[in-house]
Structure 1
Amino acid sequence: MVASGALFALLGATFVGASTQRISGMGFALVSSPFLVMVLGPHQGVMLVNFLGCCSSFMILAQVFKQVEFRKVFLVLVPAMLMTIPGAWVAARVSGPMLSIGIAIMVILALSSSFLLRNLKASQGKGLAIGAGAVSGFMSVTAGVSSPAIAAYAVASRWPQAKFAISVQLYFFVLAIASLTAKGGMPQLHWIQWTGCAVAMICGILLGNWLAPKIPPKLSRAFVVIIAFAGALTLMVNGLLELNA
């Protein structure tokens, strides 16, 4: 049987993550990763984040595919896909509590670094794109969180928010597939959990479609940051408690 508390946490994280992704163009992994890892453990939790993030991005991408800026996407996508290989090696060799703590630290550092990028001068260099893609790919397969590094690149390169929010869906979709392939598996869930996640994701995207035109971008970004920080801190505490048990 599936515990009701764990099921509600799983569905809630999926629902909020999907709606956030639709509203702001990113945020599914940031919002859902800490909570899914708490429910399912580091390895299964991150794989589920990758899989659900892939589905969420695909559902959004299907609506906006013609507006994607393919050249900019592939510039960051290639190094990201390459870095999923060493990332998968690290994820398979780190113990559960330590990986939970590591995931929490990576999320917190990534979120914190985004605040330091507001005053950067515009940079269009390929080196920045390659570096951001590499960091994003490594974090995708180890922590299930790929968006902070790409968001940082978007800020530094002055990628317009509206075009970025559309184009990045292709990036998240392909990178999630690469991350799952590097790990060589799919998350193992009960059919009730799979069904619940599918319904929660569809409802979240529908809510996001309705809310997107109504919510100011600054407010939606603030919501992502608050939820992600709270989840990461909770995950870190749980990891520390397991480590000391």
Structure 2
Amino acid sequence: MDLVSFVVALVAVLIGAAGQRMIGMGWGLVVTPAVALVAGPLAAVLVVNLYGALACMVILPKVWHDIDWKRLLWLAVPAVALMVPGLLLAKGLDTDVLRIAVGVIAMAGVVITVAFTTAERSHDGPALRIATGATIGVLNASVGMGAPALGVYTLLSGWQDRTFVATMQPFWVIVSGVIVAVRPFVAPEGSPDWPLWAWLLLCVPVVAGVLLGNRLAHLVNRTVVRWSIIALSVLGGAALIVTGALGLLA
């Protein structure tokens, strides 16, 4: 394991966890490209979902009373239903092609996030929620990044208040937890061959990032936080696209 790349991943996990606490998204956009560079795109799915669920579980007690349970069910049920097809998609694709796909999705997520910061309410309904949940399930299971689909939904629905931040925590616990649970039966060969200390060490920036987000949630300008996540996502996504393209050309 490349220690320099692993340190980059640790920093990305810290920033991603803090962003997840403060604005309800950013974990996958920041962490997936960084972990994919260290462990490969297929292994990144497991790592991102495992530690993403941990981060959201740490956040959950702070936001429990603001959760929109009805909207949570509309999004979570179709997401869970489409996870196995997403895992099979990841298993069947070439590694470099998948790496490029992760990078492209990260870049697309940036564009959606930029639009999300200024979007006004348009419309919402069961059909849009089901389509969003299903798309998140496929993307999160295949490339570890369902945030682009979530960004589209928030853009269309205008769901940008504190209930969004709160509801995303149990949503990602459910989605990520199911992926981690079913993965050994669908794609068992995708786990990174890391020493035990590496798995344990990754827990530190997860908890530290959440604690940092708790402290800064009411003090830091959220626009600054979003733009920081956007910048890191652009760099990470671009790096993955280049790496994948070089692999295909080799």
After TM superposition, is the score higher than 0.5? yes
Can you give the 5+ residue segments of structure 1 that lack an aligned partner in the other structure? Answer: none
Partner of 1:142: 142
User: Number of paired residues?
Assistant: 244
Q: In the TM superposition, what is the alpha-carbon distance from 1:180 to its structure 2 partner?
A: 2.1
% identical equivalent positions: 25
Q: In the TM superposition, what is the alpha-carbon distance from 1:140 to its structure 2 partner?
A: 0.4
Q: What aligned pairs does 1:219-230 form with structure 2 within 5 A after superposition?
A: 219-230=224-235
State the TM-score, normalized to the length of structure 1.
0.92
Letter in 2 for 1:69: D
Letter in 1 for 2:128: L
Equivalent residue for 2:199, pick from 187, 194, 198: 194
Partner of 2:19: 20
Cα distance between partner residues in 2 of 1:67 and 1:109: 29
Partner of 1:130: 130
Instruction: Report which stretch shifted further, 150-159 or 192-201.
Output: 150-159
Can you give the 5+ residue segments of structure 2 that lack an aligned partner in the other structure? Answer: none
Letter in 1 for 2:215: W
Cα distance between partner residues in 1 of 2:23 and 2:127: 26
Q: What aligned pairs does 1:5-44 form with structure 2 within 5 A after superposition?
A: 5-44=4-43
What SS does structure 2 have at the residue aligned with 1:155? Answer: helix
1:205 aligns with 2:210: yes
Q: In the TM superposition, what is the alpha-carbon distance from 1:183 to its structure 2 partner?
A: 2.2
Q: In the TM superposition, what is the alpha-carbon distance from 1:114 to its structure 2 partner?
A: 4.4
Letter in 2 for 1:73: L
Q: In the TM superposition, what is the alpha-carbon distance from 1:25 to its structure 2 partner?
A: 1.4
Cα distance between partner residues in 2 of 1:19 and 1:121: 26
Partner of 2:90: 91
Cα distance between partner residues in 1 of 2:35 and 2:215: 25
Residues 93/194 of structure 1: CA separation in 2 closer, same or farther (3 Å cut)? same
Cα distance between partner residues in 1 of 2:39 and 2:135: 25
Q: Which runs of 4+ in 1 moved over 4 A?
A: 114-121
What SS does structure 2 have at the residue aligned with 1:99? Answer: helix
In the alignment, is the contact (CA less than 8 A) between 1:47 and 1:187 conserved in 2? yes
State the TM-score, normalized to the length of structure 2.
0.90
